[in-house]
Structure 1
């Protein structure tokens, strides 16, 4: 189809007349004029007009209905609100008459509403992030609020030696090995003939890269220092 725009070719011919078109879509749209089919109906209540193309339908709505006066006016004293649809007017009248047929089904909520739309809007208030603990009634409105609350439920693990608290058994175990075991787990440099040992993998990797491979791409930010490092901590 893009080449047809440049060459002027119109390979799609109508079997009912002598017209031809550059694209199959244009041909299909044209063929509706022969069949009498008008699939695009005006969506304005009370209007029975229908059109071959959506563009024609939109033009009709803009030309005929856009500035059309709203048909349904509230007759309640002092109100005079206008509506396009009868059901909109009826829902609005319920507000004056205090007829609220739509009830919130959320446990503990007694709110009532004149229309389903207003009820659905209200129900969003109840949506959120409930606490995983079944005995806890907390409902976070945001993920951040929920995460902050979850910290209250975390069991603190106490170090038997120094009473330091940890959120995770792994951190407690590492702390015990490195601080209280008396003999720390040492990491030996794998370079033959080196023999250096380290308590942290970061220090070992930094040593191998910097001392054995001469890679120190990270410079100290302080003016006049001149030191450089293999890794950035």
Structure 2
């Protein structure tokens, strides 16, 4: 599903962001990527969807070899992935329904299929009653749920979530995690970067800890402590 072999990523010639990383993430896994700010988590995550390219080493996601991927092939990779950002990236002039549907219109799905799929994912994230609302009328937690609905609209094999509970209060964060758990139980692989030790310790899954660009721990259902953790 996801494989890194001896992956190195340098910036500006000598700044080492990821230092000889090797791991496998299997289909259906739920994996937390943890570590302090500046540890290399974001670089590690961004290479999964070809936002960043490794300096050396080998990355395979599904059947795609990312280090040799041409720019014209990147959209085909990303159609198999769902990506959730901390800052939501919703389109402010579109309703909730239209924001989610946009992801399907881009890949030219039939209108009937769009209608059916959007209704399903909005029900999954508990936002059916908000489908005609605009993003600025929603709470932060609701906006994050729209972002998740949009990310899973095309039935991705892998959902990549970068700090999805980072700006949310504890109860709202738990609501987001309940949704991610449900998505994972339906077979979607989830890779989630987080500082949130409360979430990691309450919702138990594999923990990959990165420090100074290296994997310092890879543990099934590991504990995590972060002094700056917040829900």
Output the TM-score relative to the length of structure 1: 0.15
Larger RCO (alpha carbons 8 Å, 6+ apart): 2
Question: Which protein is richer in strand relative to its size?
Answer: 2
Larger radius of gyration: 1
Output the TM-score relative to the length of structure 2: 0.15
